[in-house]
Amino acid sequence: MPRWECAIEADGEVFDRVEDLIVHQSTKHDRIECEVCGAVLPDGFFAIRHAFDEHSRAEYVRAYDADASEVRRREKVKERIEAAADIREVIDRLEGGDGSI
């Protein structure tokens, strides 16, 4: 079973379940502002998902001064998490206030 590590600010906390990682990122780290549109959202997976679902790659590159390898790395993270995570469970936990892991 893969382990999931929080890479926000070199946090390094490791989780057995990807859902626990996403809840951790959403509740234990500060929210960030999207450099493209100004939306404020949880850092980590939700920020990556927002960037690539709501904005073009070109907008992302310009706003974050990113290069192609950085874009590809974040796209792979997004794909890997979406393939493994029960996002409905994460949202239910966050909306229900049960951020416990």
Q: What is the pLDDT of residue 2?
A: 73
Amino acid (1-letter code) at residue 50? H
d(CA 61, CA 84): 27
- Name residue, tokens 């549109």: 37
Question: Which segments of the chain have a pLDDT < 50?
Answer: none
pTM, two decimal places:
0.88
**Which positions ≥6 away from 67 have C-beta within 8 Å?**
61
Amino acid (1-letter code) at residue 16? D
Q: What is the pLDDT of residue 91?
A: 94
